[in-house]
Amino acid sequence: MLSNFDALDPRDRVIVAIDCGREEALELARKLQGKARWLKVGMTLYYAEGPSIVKAFKDLGFKVFLDLKFYDIPHQVEGAAYASALTGADMLTMHASGSIAMMQAGQRGAQRAADELGAPVPATLGITVLTSMDDAALAEIGVGRSCAEQVPLLAANAKAAGISGVVCSPQEASMMRELLGPAGYVVTPGVRPAGADKGDQSRVATPAQAFAAGSSHIVVGRPITQAPDPAAAFQAIIAELEQ
């Protein structure tokens, strides 16, 4: 299925995951400035540096995917989404397993901040089943269903809650695209350019494969951030996608 994102410039669809400390993060951001357009801030960097790292990236002209995976009572998630959106973050995550009511609260918080800022509302993404979990891990927490059953159930709940889309592996992207329709965000990590080191990722796809499967955006970290020339590594991915 085609998506509303297919016409975008590939630079608007490749998100660079910055998983390191502040100084290295800022150095990477400066190297990628004017080339990459999206950076991802995860828990490690955020809990060390707080909202100032998001603001620093925004000041350098980047869009920021703030991946904090909210999971709490709806009132708290509404507040977390509100505060995160006030930093200027352009994309937020929450666990779909926290309930439809919790996701709706997150959406409300993001919307309230956007209204106050007079800015577009950040994209809100649901995490279905963490890719680090398997059927045995679901059974351990009392979920008597397989990952293959649980992932689409939670994605359908994300859709019912009215959030923007999901984070998923490239292997799940086409199913998510069908489920969410052309406007849904389908954001996929686990992407490796052909020939790149897989690192600790097991099930990987190339950028072109991930987009062909229906991803709206891909998240690529170490193949860019640990390259001798991160800007050139980013540019090589874009060139491959533009072919």
Give the residues lining the site for ligand C5P (CB under 6 A). 17, 19, 40, 42, 131, 167, 189-190, 199, 201, 219-222
Q: Which of 54, 175, 46, 40 is nearest to 113 (CA)?
A: 54
The encoded tokens of residue 159 equal 């859709």
| Shorter beta-carbon distance to ligand C5P: residue 44 or 146 | 44
Q: What beta strand segments (E) does the chain contain?
A: 14-17, 38-42, 63-70, 91-95, 123-127, 165-167, 185-188, 217-220
CB of 58 to ligand C5P, least distance (A): 19
CB 156 within 8 A of CB 126: no
What is the Rg, in whole angstroms, of the alpha carbon atoms belonging to the chain? Answer: 17
| Shorter beta-carbon distance to ligand C5P: residue 66 or 113 | 66
H/E element, 30: helix 22-32
Phi, psi values for residue 187, rounded to 5°: -105, 125
The encoded tokens of residue 164 equal 């923007």
- Of 31, 58, 69, 198, catalytic: 69
Residue at token pair 């889309």: 165
| Shorter beta-carbon distance to ligand C5P: residue 73 or 148 | 148
- Is there a catalytic annotation at residue 69? yes
CB of 82 to ligand C5P, least distance (A): 23
| Shorter beta-carbon distance to ligand C5P: residue 18 or 113 | 18
Pairwise CA distance, residues 219 & 181, whole Å: 21
| Shorter beta-carbon distance to ligand C5P: residue 75 or 203 | 203
CB 125 within 8 A of CB 66: no
CB 66 within 8 A of CB 56: no
What are the catalytic residues? 69
